[in-house]
Amino acid sequence: MELVAGRLHAAGVAALPAEVARPGYDRSALRAGIVHLGLGAFARAHLAAVNDAALRAGAGPDWGICGVSLRQPATRDALAPQDGLYTLALRSADDLGRPRQQLGVIGCVLEVLVAPEDPQAVLARIASPDTRIVSLTVTEKGYCHDPASGLLNLAHPDIVHDLAQPGAPRSAIGLLAWGLRRRREAGLGPVTLMSLDNLPANGRLLRGMVLAFAARVDAALADWIALGCAFPCSMVDRIVPRTTDADRQEIADALGVRDAWPVLAEPYLEWVVEDRYAAGRPDWTAGGARFVPEAAPFETLKLRMVNGAHSALAYLSVMAGWATVDQAIAQPGVARYLRDMMRSEIEPTLPKLPGLDLARYREDLLLRFANPALRHQTLQIAMDGSQKLPQRLLDTVRARLAADLPMPGLALAVAGWLHFLRGADQAGRRYDIQDPMAAALAERYAQAEQAAGLAGKGPPAMLAWTGVLTGLDAVFGDLGRDARFVRAVAQAAQSLRSLGVAGALDARYPPPR
Ligand code: CS2
């Protein structure tokens, strides 16, 4: 058994080094008004950090967080012996490029439940009179939807399971629907269901999934949810790399005690959320949130610029063997490519946002990517591409095609993903493809190689190869049948294959002479 001495815990906070920020509010008085599904690093570095600031600013005792892990017990195992406390390390670099960090202990997580161990406890929490908001960061695949159509995938094994198992749901959607049924049966009021995932109209999407599921359970429940619950949409932005053992060690050295699971993030934070709540909310503006009537333009901006550029960079980098984002952006060809794609292809598709200086947003984004203290793995961003491409790259492609405009940079990003599906980089080093559609993708990839082999060599082979891969309806939908798209991607794929990543970038985005 681990000794508590030497470990971050409530009674030890006062003894932490003076420069470490700490809760400073009465944790013992807090109730869990927020149940958060998917308490991963992102939620702990974003929602919880903002909520903590609101509590420090006097939001009152109603707004503690009960976190829920949907798969593994690791977060609970790390945080329970620490009384729910953990460290947030905001990392950047000084003017000379030397890494620096600012540490703060976050206090608003009161407990962590592990759904597969005790789904009843999660349902009971959702149906607790204290609960007013159920928030989610379950990643794109956690919505169990078909990424191209946006509809609930009723054949998804978790949905099939959850419809049959009211007492032991395992998906976020099942937990929400069955938990809300309990609330309704207990005569309690509706709550706000707040998605914080990187999906367009995330609140509307969540509403669609919960209602589609609830309608299969009981039409009256679906009506009760539709009429009473609120589903605000939001844009969330903060880069949160995975914590490594080296990070744990560095943070333990700085704290003087061990934290089993600190989280790291860039200092930058954006949260733009619609001010529609069914049962109140804390004033998150203290932590940097902005409340707006309509989040859609902000979501489109963020998904297309930040996430679109991130995914484009990630696939090309994995292929080239650049392990971290800062390493990739230091390649002049990558910076030229992303800057050009944002300026000439993505920005013209964005809705107008009064007061936003897009050129500044773009340059700030490139600086965020260059942050050397984050060591953000390109392979981390590359995961789950089948769920990410539609909103990050393909919607932008559609907007370009609708106006009959070229999109060579976006095509290069898509071609990057297709090459990534090979599972080996340019030097032949293998990596795992983490994606809920991994099996289907591997099968497609093999078919594409076969089709290319039959088509001979060079451009015709790449066109056949691209045609097979972009025929994947669940990801590409109608685009797979658009000859302009398939041709542009095939051209980019050909260039990547014959010149390599650096060569293809230099050919398309030559250095200034
Ligand atoms: C990244 C995002 O992993 C990824 O797919 O693109 O997590 C990204 O860091 C955040 O959305 C930034 O807000």
Confidence (pLDDT) at 374:
97
Ligand 1 atom with the smallest distance to the CA of 376 is: 9
pLDDT tens digits, 379-404: 999 999 999 999 999 999 999 999 99
499 vs 18: CA distance, rounded Å: 54
38 vs 48: CA distance, rounded Å: 12
Determine if ligand 1 sits within 6 Å of the CB of residue 310.
Answer: yes
pLDDT tens digits, 431-475: 999 999 999 999 999 999 999 999 998 999 999 999 999 999 999
Distance, CA 30 to ligand 1 centroid (Å)? 31
Determine if ligand 1 sits within 6 Å of the CB of residue 46.
Answer: no
Confidence (pLDDT) at 134:
99
Ligand 1 atom with the smallest distance to the CA of 238 is: 13
Question: Which of 167, 279, 302 minimizes the C-alpha distance to 228?
Answer: 279
pLDDT over 80 at 5, yes or no = no
Ligand 1 atom with the smallest distance to the CA of 388 is: 5
Q: How far from 199 is each of 70, 145, 177, 236, 248, CA to CA, in Å?
A: 19, 11, 20, 10, 31
- The side-by-side arrangement of strands in the sheet containing 270-274 is 234-237, 270-274, 289-292
Distance, CA 308 to ligand 1 centroid (Å)? 9
Ligand 1 atom with the smallest distance to the CA of 310 is: 6
Q: How far from 239 is each of 222, 326, 373, 376, 461, CA to CA, in Å?
A: 36, 12, 12, 8, 38
Residue 187 backbone phi and psi in degrees, to 5: 75, 20
Q: Is 19 helix (H, G, I), strand (E, B) or coil?
A: coil
Distance, CA 383 to ligand 1 centroid (Å)? 11
User: Hey, whose CA ends up nearest to atom 1 of ligand 1?
Assistant: 381
**How big is the CA angle at 139 (ends 53 and 485), to the nearest 5 degrees?**
125
Distance, CA 244 to ligand 1 centroid (Å)? 17
pLDDT tier for residue 3 given thresholds of 50, 70 and 90: very low
Query: Contact, 386 vs 441, CB < 8 A?
Result: yes
Pick the CATH number of 10-292 from 1.10.10.10, 3.90.1420.10, 3.40.50.980, 3.40.50.720: 3.40.50.720
Q: Is 491 helix (H, G, I), strand (E, B) or coil?
A: helix
pTM (two decimals): 0.97
User: Hey, whose CA ends up nearest to atom 10 of ligand 1?
Assistant: 239
Distance, CA 455 to ligand 1 centroid (Å)? 37
Query: Contact, 307 vs 197, CB < 8 A?
Result: no
* Residue 69, H or E segment: strand 65-69
pLDDT tens digits, 271-327: 999 999 999 999 999 999 999 999 999 999 999 999 999 999 999 999 999 999 999
At position 77, the amino acid (one-letter code) is: D
Q: Pull the structure tokens for residue 179.
A: 């938990």
Determine if ligand 1 sits within 6 Å of the CB of residue 302.
Answer: no
Query: Contact, 339 vs 287, CB < 8 A?
Result: no
Which string of DSSP letters, residue by residue, matches 372-433? TTT--BHHHHHTTHHHHHIIIIIHHHHHHHHTT---HHHHHHHHHHHHHTTSB-TT--B---
Question: Can you give the C-alpha Rg of the chain in angstroms?
Answer: 23
pLDDT tens digits, 467-501: 999 999 999 999 999 999 999 999 999 999 999 99
Q: Are strands 270-274 and 234-237 parallel, antiparallel or unpaired?
A: antiparallel
Distance, CA 31 to ligand 1 centroid (Å)? 31
Looking at the DSSP bridge assignments, the partners of residue 330 are: none
Pick the CATH number of 296-508 from 1.10.940.10, 1.10.1040.10, 3.30.430.20, 1.10.490.10: 1.10.1040.10
2 vs 219: CA distance, rounded Å: 50
pLDDT tens digits, 324-342: 999 999 999 999 999 999 9
Please compute the mean of the pLDDT values over residues 225-231 and round it to a whole number: 98
Distance, CA 301 to ligand 1 centroid (Å)? 14
| Region(s) of the chain under CATH 3.40.50.720 | 10-292
Left (φ > 0), alpha (ψ -120 to 50) or beta: where does 288 sit? left
Determine if ligand 1 sits within 6 Å of the CB of residue 175.
Answer: no
Question: Which of 267, 262, 266, 286 minimizes the C-alpha distance to 85?
Answer: 262
Confidence (pLDDT) at 2:
42
Q: Pull the structure tokens for residue 416.
A: 């990057």
Determine if ligand 1 sits within 6 Å of the CB of residue 239.
Answer: yes
| Region(s) of the chain under CATH 1.10.1040.10 | 296-508
Confidence (pLDDT) at 148:
82
User: Hey, whose CA ends up nearest to atom 9 of ligand 1?
Assistant: 239
pLDDT tier for residue 513 given thresholds of 50, 70 and 90: confident
Q: 112-126 in b/e burial notation, b at 16+ Cβ within 10 A?
A: bbbbeeebeebbebb
Query: Contact, 55 vs 282, CB < 8 A?
Result: yes
- The side-by-side arrangement of strands in the sheet containing 99-106 is 99-106, 86-93, 263-265
What is the pLDDT of the chain when averaged over all its residues?
A: 97
Write out 239-305 in H/E/C secondary structure.
CCCCCCHHHHHHHHHHHCCECCCCEEECCCCEEEEECCCCCCCCCHHHHCEEEECCCHHHHHHHHHH
Distance, CA 53 to ligand 1 centroid (Å)? 22
292 vs 505: CA distance, rounded Å: 39
